[in-house]
């Protein structure tokens, strides 16, 4: 059992501020927000992704962990108490590498809110491949540098976006930073200036 | 675990359930006054809580013993890790957060053989004794008002 690390020091206020950060991140895609500062989750969890789990996941949501997160399973079970589910049936998916988005629950046209949310840990939100984002929440196209997404992410995302209103929402976490890529977003590859 | 070995009281599952049950029912003032005979508990950090909530208490009724929801009671839980790395849990009746934290610290310490001897003798045993006496008194008072439904039982078994 590796539950010997605490969760939020102040569960109510920390969960509220993290929820606010996620809400803002979903409203302003590509903008970086802080979450989980002061949190010391077990490896391989990062503070931001741990804060997302402590805020969003509880006994009423199902969670799927990818194989790389197994070391944190006990900690997550203890603090969140979420029932485990196979990846195709989970409400939330915690991953160290982008899972196959077409295999996840995308909701239905009647219930698009049932689409899964993927909390993905990446190496950096400030370097790596440069993407251009446009869509609801962005007055003008924004750029995003991210290290840790697969090279074919733009085409993977195009398939996800085309299913709107069904689809997967993505929360990218690196350290204590997070940003959200909701399914309404259009993403193209940006030409990186030298 | 091999069935032949005598379980160490400090690690046995049943023994732990017993002391946790005693601590769950004990008042904070009683625990604190008994702890005066024990050296200060190890330092600790809180892993979760203390936090209060409601649990549904279920009972059995009727000839068939069907479960029914009797009512909700407030429960406070806490989990701590002490300086030696032992994790202690507590679920206590009521909303006394300090009692829950204290019970969790005691649960952590009781898993250590050395601490177990001291705390078991000075804290757990007296609390268990007092609780048993309290239960016996309540049972005696209740028994005085007991009604025997002989006819009903006979009718049930006859049908």
Q: What is the mean pLDDT of each run of 10 residues along chain A (194 residues)?
A: 78 93 95 92 92 94 91 90 91 94 92 95 94 94 93 94 94 95 93 61
* pLDDT band, residue B59 (cuts 50/70/90): confident
Answer whether A68 touches B (CB < 8 Å): no
Nearest-neighbour CA in chain B from A1: distance (Å): 10
Of chain B, the percentage scoring pLDDT greater than 70 comes to: 86
Q: Which residues of B touch A78 (CB under 8 A)?
A: 47-48, 79
Question: Could you give the C-alpha distances from A39 to A15, A124, A137, B63, in angstroms and in order?
Answer: 12, 18, 29, 53
- Please answer whether residues A27 and A137 qualify as being in contact, where contact means their C-beta atoms are separated by less than 8 angstroms: yes
Question: Could you give the C-alpha distances from A139 to A133, A135, A142, A145, A183, in angstroms and in order?
Answer: 11, 8, 9, 19, 17
> CA-to-CA distance for A33 and A20, rounded, in angstroms?
10
3-state class of A139 per DSSP?
coil
pLDDT at B8 over 70: no
Kindly identify which residue of chain A lies nearest to residue B87, measuring between CA atoms: A4
Mean per-residue pLDDT for B13-30?
90
> CA-to-CA distance for B119 and B29, rounded, in angstroms?
16
Q: Contact A78/B48, CB-based, under 8 Å?
A: yes
Answer whether A3 touches B (CB < 8 Å): yes
Q: Contact A3/B45, CB-based, under 8 Å?
A: no
- Please answer whether residues A44 and A94 qualify as being in contact, where contact means their C-beta atoms are separated by less than 8 angstroms: no
- Please answer whether residues A74 and A102 qualify as being in contact, where contact means their C-beta atoms are separated by less than 8 angstroms: no
Examine the predicted complex and report whether its ipTM is higher than 0.90: no
Task: Dump pLDDT digits (tens) for B82-128.
Answer: 888 899 999 999 999 999 999 999 999 999 888 998 898 899 999 99
> CA-to-CA distance for A17 and A40, rounded, in angstroms?
17
Q: Which residues of A touch B82 (CB under 8 A)?
A: none
């Amino acid at each position: 059992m590796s539950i010997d690390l605490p969760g939020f020091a102040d569960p109510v206020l920390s969960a509220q501020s993290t929820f606010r950060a996620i809400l803002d991140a979903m409203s302003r895609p590509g903008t970086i927000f802080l979450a989980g500062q002061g949190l010391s989750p077990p490896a391989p969890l990062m503070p931001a992704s741990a804060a997302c789990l402590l805020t969003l996941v509880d006994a009423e949501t199902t969670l799927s962990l990818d194989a790389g997160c197994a070391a944190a399973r006990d900690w997550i079970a203890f603090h969140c108490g979420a029932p485990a589910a196979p990846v195709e049936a989970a409400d939330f998916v915690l991953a160290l590498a982008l899972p196959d988005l077409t295999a996840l629950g995308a909701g239905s046209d009647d219930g698009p809110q049932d689409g899964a949310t993927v909390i993905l840990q990446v190496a950096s939100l400030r370097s790596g491949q440069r993407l251009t984002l446009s869509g609801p929440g962005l007055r003008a196209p924004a750029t995003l540098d991210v290290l840790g997404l697969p090279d074919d992410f733009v085409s993977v995302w195009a398939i996800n976006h085309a299913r709107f209103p069904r689809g997967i929402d993505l929360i990218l976490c690196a350290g204590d930073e997070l940003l959200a890529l909701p399914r309404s977003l259009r993403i193209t590859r940006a030409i990186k200036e030298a | 675990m091999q069935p032949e070995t005598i379980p160490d009281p400090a690690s046995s599952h049943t023994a732990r359930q017993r002391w946790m049950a005693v601590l769950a029912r004990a008042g904070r003032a009683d625990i604190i006054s008994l702890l005066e005979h024990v050296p200060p508990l190890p330092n600790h950090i809180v892993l979760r809580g203390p936090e209060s909530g409601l649990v549904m208490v279920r009972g059995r009724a009727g000839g068939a013993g069907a479960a029914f929801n009797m009512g909700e009671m407030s429960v406070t839980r806490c989990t701590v890790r002490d300086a030696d790395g032992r994790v202690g849990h507590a679920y206590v009746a009521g909303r006394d957060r300090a009692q829950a934290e204290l019970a969790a610290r005691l649960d952590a310490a009781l898993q250590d053989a050395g601490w177990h001897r001291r705390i078991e003798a000075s804290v757990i045993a007296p609390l268990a004794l007092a609780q048993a006496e309290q239960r016996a008194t309540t049972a005696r008072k209740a028994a005085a008002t007991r009604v025997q439904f002989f006819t009903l039982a006979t009718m049930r078994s006859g049908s």
